[in-house]
Structure formats: C-alpha cells, structure tokens
Structure 1
C-alpha cells in the first residue's frame, strides 16, 4: 500500500487559484465534493482573519453559480456552493486514483492525501507529469503493515462506532450517537469515519494476501 501526500500548483483558470492568491494568508479546505454534469457541488471551509471578505470573494466569483453560507465565526466561514470549475474531478477521473478529503488550498497550491497500490500511485504521478503540473511529493510511505494505517482520530472514531454497534445489521446506534459519545459534531464524525473505512478497504484489497472463506450472506 502507498500512502502519499502531494502539493500541486493550481491551474490559473480555476476559481480557487484566483481567490487563494488574492488572499494568501487564508487556508481553504474542500471538505467534500461531487461532480453533477457540467458543475460540481462542494462543501468548503476557509480559515482567515477576514471571513466575510473571503466568503464574498467566493460567492461573487464568475465560476461560482450558487453560494450558501452555512456558518461564520471571527476566523472561519463554512459554505456550500456550486461551481463550473470541474478540473479537479476530471483530473482525478483520468488518473484513476481518488483523492482523500479534505483537500487544502493555500496561495495557489493545493495539498491532499492519496492511498492506493503502487501501480495506482505510479499512474497518478504519470498523469500529473503528462499534464505538465508543477508538484511536490511531500511524503511517501510504502508498507504492508496495517499498524500505521489509521490516524489516531480515525482509530478512535471507528472503535467508538464498533463498540456502539454502528456496524451491526440492523444498526444499534446512529451516527449522531457516535458523535455524541466522542463529543464531536456529526459531520466531523461522518468524515473521519468514512476516511478510516476507505483506508481499511483499500489496504485489504491492495495488500492483504490471505483469501478468507466466501460469505454466504448476500446482504
């Protein structure tokens, strides 16, 4: 299994490049996103000393067709928006290796984590180079040992969910129950849980060599 973190120069023609370079001290985090035809619907968070100004810059950008502010504090703004900039999704589709959220952008660059097989990572790296993207490989870990597969937070959330019966059929608790037990909000619990599950499934499918008996449970 390959676990890597990359830093890639944003294309000049996407909205996040414009806004992040105009606000170089702000940190943008794409928490989730989905492509819907010619547009993408995303949930994004910005930490900055002027959230109102940065939020307005996003909302009024020509590439942002809809914008809904969900929460604002003195140093943070959380928003759901729709954009015609789908280059990230096209690039990921071409490379064949999905990125892991959150994707962080600062001053014209974005960073993200990847987890997959060596072959998948090589294809992704080749796609970056073929596209002529400027990039930095910040970290690369190749391991068949699952001990370091999860972050401490992912392990805590998965363990709490397992103990509470979240993975039982039918479930013995809700995601809100898991979040309450850990004193975190439901969206955070969902995001961490999903990323942890993704890492485990990818590790098993790309690394594990043992073949367990086939289950007869069709559920």
Structure 2
C-alpha cells in the first residue's frame, strides 16, 4: 500500500481561479461524483464575507452549470455550496481521475491559493504512476510525498485517542454522546447548543463547558496525527 500526497493547479477549473477574486477563501471538497455527463460537487468554504457574490461567481464560471448556497454561518463566515458542472476532457474532475486509477482519497481535498491538495492511497506504484500521468494532463502537479503508510505510528495514535475517550468523565461522555446523536457536529449542524441544553438537566453554559473539555481532551490526542512530523 502506498500513500500519495500531491497538489494540482487544475487548468480551467474553478479551484484554479477562485483566489484571484476571493483571496481569503479556503475551500474543502466534501464530495464529488459524476451523474451522467454532469459532475456534482459539495464544498465547504471559509472566510466567505459575501456568500451571494461567491455563489454568483461560481455560477458564472465556464465549467459550472449551477451553484446553490446550501447553508451559510454568518458568525463563522462559512458557506456550504452545491455545484454542478459539465467538464470536458481537459477539465475533468480530479476525483474521477483518481478513482478510475484505483487511488482512493484518505481525507477531503482542500483548495488554497489556486491549488487542490490531495492525499490518496493506492495498492501499487503502477497505479500511482498512471494516475500521476493522467493528472498531469489536467494541469500542473507537484508531488509532496510518496511512501508506505506508517501503520504502527497510526495505531499508536489511535490508541492514544481511545485512551483520551476513556479519560472522559461519565458526564462528559453523556453530553458529548448526545451532541453527536443530535447532529451538533454535522455539517450543517442539525441542532444548536441551546437545543442540547433543553435535553439536559444543566444550563447552556454548563453543557458548552462539558463539550469544550471533552473536545480538548480528544483533540490533544488527535493532534500528533495531523502534524507533518507524525507522517514523516
């Protein structure tokens, strides 16, 4: 098994040009798939000060047929946008290229400064080479790493995460579990903090404090898995 991490400046795609008009926006491609001749994509964009202008720009892009604002959090300046586009052979979605070469994303792709950042796993060098060749026909590709995943280190990290969960107090587990069940961590959120408090015996401030303490314990255990050093 190989882990292939790369960046691509996708020629003719909205990802290549978005930061020219909206320099501060960063986007995550949550999913992308082809439906007939149309590619459907859901993105989460942050630092979106004017969601209407952003969606209008996407709608007018040459490869897009429609763009719809699904949800916008004004406080966080975060927008969820659904896109539909008719790509030709020169602007084919990156995910299509990866999947047909049996390269499977391990995390959602991010878009920043005109580049799409991807991390995928594949079973052989031949598949990675073929995917890289096909991707190079879509734009400029920069390889960041090609390596065998360090499973021992990943398992160690997962053990630490499990221990962090076990270290939660019974009350923290109760509140966190309810928050997950009620969709507090969904995108977009299915419930608000005040709604969680209505299901609990404590007030909103106390429920929020239980969640913050739980999140802090778990995220501290997760952090080593996010750093470059942990993947070196």
TM-score bracket relative to the smaller structure: 0.5 to 0.7
8 Å contact from structure 1 (residues 29, 103) kept in 2 = yes
- Aligned residue runs from structure 1 range 1-219, under 5 A: 1-11=1-11, 13-52=12-51, 53-74=53-74, 75-85=77-87, 87-88=92-93, 89-93=95-99, 95-119=101-125, 120-129=127-136, 131=137, 133-143=139-149, 145=151, 147-148=153-154, 179-180=180-181, 184-185=185-186
2-structure distance, mates of 1:146, 1:177: 32
Aligned-partner SS, 2:71:
strand
Q: Deviation at 1:71?
A: 1.0
Greater than 4 Å deviation, 4+ residue runs: 149-152
8 Å contact from structure 2 (residues 10, 138) kept in 1 = no
Query: Residues 65 and 98 (structure 1 numbering): CA distance in 2 closer, same or farther, change over 3 Å?
Result: same
Q: Deviation at 1:145?
A: 3.3
Q: What do you get for the CA RMSD once the two structures are aligned? A: 3.4
Aligned-partner SS, 1:92:
helix
Q: Deviation at 1:48?
A: 1.7
Equivalent pairs, count: 167
Structure 1 gap ranges (5+): 161-175, 189-219
Query: Residues 83 and 134 (structure 1 numbering): CA distance in 2 closer, same or farther, change over 3 Å?
Result: same
1-structure distance, mates of 2:156, 2:31: 20
Query: Residues 63 and 121 (structure 1 numbering): CA distance in 2 closer, same or farther, change over 3 Å?
Result: closer
